[in-house]
Amino acid sequence: MPILKKNKPIFLADDTITQPDLHELSNWILAGNRLTKASQTIAFEEEFREWMGSRHAIFTNSGSSSNLLMIYALKEAGALRNLKVIAPAVSWVTTVSPLMQFGFDISLCDSDPVNLGLDLNHLEYLCKTERPSLLILVHVLGHANHLDQIKEICMRWDVHLIEDSCEALGSTSGGKKLGSHGLAGSFSFYYGHHISTIEGGMVVTDDDELHQIMLSLRSHGWSRDLSKEKRNNLTSENNIDEFRNLYTFYYPGFNLRSTDLQAFIGRTQLKKLNKIVACRERNFGLYKASLSDYFIQESPTETLSSFAYGTFVKNRLEVFNKLKAEQIECRPLICGNIGRHPFWTRVNGHCDLKNADIVHDYGIYLPNHHNMLPSDVERVAEVFSSIAQPFILDSK
């Protein structure tokens, strides 16, 4: 009797750190190099900054810490005329939770029915009625928001723009990489993201003063990592002598540092990032061609570093169980409407928003990573479409 060959599992994420990468890392460790934050971190920041086309980059211990760092740095810099902020309802807990932790008055913005970023009409309304000083946006699954219109709204209402680009590493719009359009942008290098440093993240900015404040806040609030000019100014202004200098704290800082071990991995990962982006973009195109009867996320994105393939189905639980039986991972589309999660509702009550609620109730996303072959995409699409009942989001 012939033995039936089982299909291989298809996961939401797969290794970007290969065996040769680990051997290279092992040799570096065994050579006796310093593992805590040192020269590898500086080199990784420089290479990432150059890859992004940004003036500065700050390596952190996670994408979540990157969000926390850039938000608190703006507060410490005195850049905000008030503590009112707009955040996307379709986002992630650590896009929003630092704002809660730092005492911001948060308005959640509904999602665009096509790119799943910010709904422009709702954003305009919130700017008009709430008069916020800050907007953080998320590029959902790697797709750009309507950046030109959002920038115009921010300029008109005097709102600072920052970007949570943790799902969009390598995507471009308007000739620039996502994450470099606002005052600062964050990235994640967690296992499930485009590249991995095991845990880690990055903030990019073109603002010199904000960069210096973030460097200090990342490491306790001291001045050790700052430019010579900034360090001398702080010691002079505060009358700090040489003996006390290394143990004087100028900001109420954190410890958000990563390590040189992880920076070494990051430098290796960066060398393969362009190929990873190309594979993810190819896979998105294959999904789009196979699943034309379902919702297709569209955006003004020139290079699409697709994080996953998002769609909407009426029978989501049934689809989940079918895919699971076929050893194919899937999950809710990010986490739906953040305004319906317990951490938010316990403090603010339910935040009902038309499009974000549809994402919450019907959204599902399918795997996309650089190790998926075209045949893997074909198999996922075939199993998915064999049972999924499409829910079409009204784009009017």
Q: What is the pLDDT of residues 241-294, one digit of tens each?
A: 999 999 999 999 999 999 999 999 999 999 999 999 999 999 999 999 999 999
* 264 and 282 co-located in one domain: no
Residue 109 identity: C
Query: Quick check: is 10 in a domain?
Result: no
Tens digit of each residue's pLDDT (9 = 90 or more) over 109-129: 999 999 999 999 999 999 999
* 297 and 230 co-located in one domain: no
Alpha helices in 238-351, H assignment, sequence order: 242-245, 260-270, 273-290, 316-325, 342-348
Question: What is the total count of domains within the chain?
Answer: 2
Pairing between β-strand 184-188 and β-strand 160-164 as defined by DSSP bridges: parallel
pLDDT surpassing 70 at residue 78: yes
Q: Which pLDDT belongs to residue 61? A: 98
Using DSSP, state whether 316 is helix, strand or coil.
Answer: helix
CA 249 to chain centre: 30
Tell me the mean pLDDT in the region 161-184.
98
Pairing between β-strand 56-60 and β-strand 201-205 as defined by DSSP bridges: antiparallel
* 176 and 318 co-located in one domain: no
CB 115 within 8 A of CB 145: yes
CB 112 within 8 A of CB 147: no
CB 332 within 8 A of CB 89: no
* 194 and 309 co-located in one domain: no
What would the DSSP string read from start to end of 128-139? HHH--SEEEEE-
Q: Which pLDDT belongs to residue 393? A: 67
Q: Which pLDDT belongs to residue 395? A: 57
Query: Quick check: is 63 in a domain?
Result: yes
Query: Quick check: is 371 in a domain?
Result: yes
Structure tokens at 68: 């926390």
Using DSSP, state whether 179 is helix, strand or coil.
Answer: coil
* CA pair distance 195, 82, nearest whole angstrom: 36
* 284 and 261 co-located in one domain: no
What's the CATH code of the domain at 66? 3.40.640.10
* Length, in residues, of the chain: 396
Pairing between β-strand 134-138 and β-strand 363-366 as defined by DSSP bridges: unpaired
User: Dihedrals φ, ψ of 183, to 5°?
Assistant: -70, -30
* 243 and 340 co-located in one domain: no
Report the C-alpha dihedral over residues 53, 59, 65, 71, rounded to 10 degrees: -50
Q: What is the mean pLDDT of the chain?
A: 96
pLDDT surpassing 80 at residue 193: yes
Query: Quick check: is 148 in a domain?
Result: yes
Pairing between β-strand 134-138 and β-strand 84-88 as defined by DSSP bridges: parallel
Tell me the mean pLDDT in the region 311-329.
98
User: CB under 8 Å to 372, separation ≥6 — which residues?
Assistant: 10, 14, 279, 283
CA distances from 86 to 94, 289, 353 (A): 14, 35, 14
Tell me the mean pLDDT in the region 298-304.
96
Query: Quick check: is 3 in a domain?
Result: no
Is residue 386 classed exposed, middle or buried when 0-12, 13-18 and 19+ CB atoms within 10 A define those classes? exposed
Q: Which pLDDT belongs to residue 392? A: 78
* CA pair distance 40, 45, nearest whole angstrom: 9
Q: Which pLDDT belongs to residue 394? A: 67
User: Dihedrals φ, ψ of 85, to 5°?
Assistant: -145, 150
Residue 358 identity: I
* CA pair distance 147, 276, nearest whole angstrom: 24
Query: Quick check: is 11 in a domain?
Result: no
What's the CATH code of the domain at 341? 3.90.1150.10
pLDDT surpassing 70 at residue 2: no
Pairing between β-strand 363-366 and β-strand 309-312 as defined by DSSP bridges: antiparallel
* 328 and 254 co-located in one domain: no
Domain C-terminal end among 227, 247, 270: 270
* 288 and 264 co-located in one domain: no
Tell me the mean pLDDT in the region 167-189.
98
* 150 and 261 co-located in one domain: yes
Q: Show the domain range for 33.
A: 19-270
pLDDT surpassing 70 at residue 140: yes
* 24 and 46 co-located in one domain: yes
* 195 and 285 co-located in one domain: no
Domain C-terminal end among 246, 270, 294: 270
User: CB under 8 Å to 311, separation ≥6 — which residues?
Assistant: 291, 294, 295, 296, 297, 363, 364, 365, 366, 388, 390
What would the DSSP string read from start to end of 28-82? HHHTT---SSSHHHHHHHHHHHHHHT-SEEEEES-HHHHHHHHHHHHHHTT--SS
Structure tokens at 55: 């003036």
Query: Quick check: is 347 in a domain?
Result: yes
* 148 and 34 co-located in one domain: yes
Query: Quick check: is 76 in a domain?
Result: yes
pLDDT surpassing 90 at residue 39: yes
Domain C-terminal end among 270, 290, 307: 270
Q: Does 6 or 346 have the greater pLDDT score?
A: 346
Tell me the mean pLDDT in the region 206-230.
97
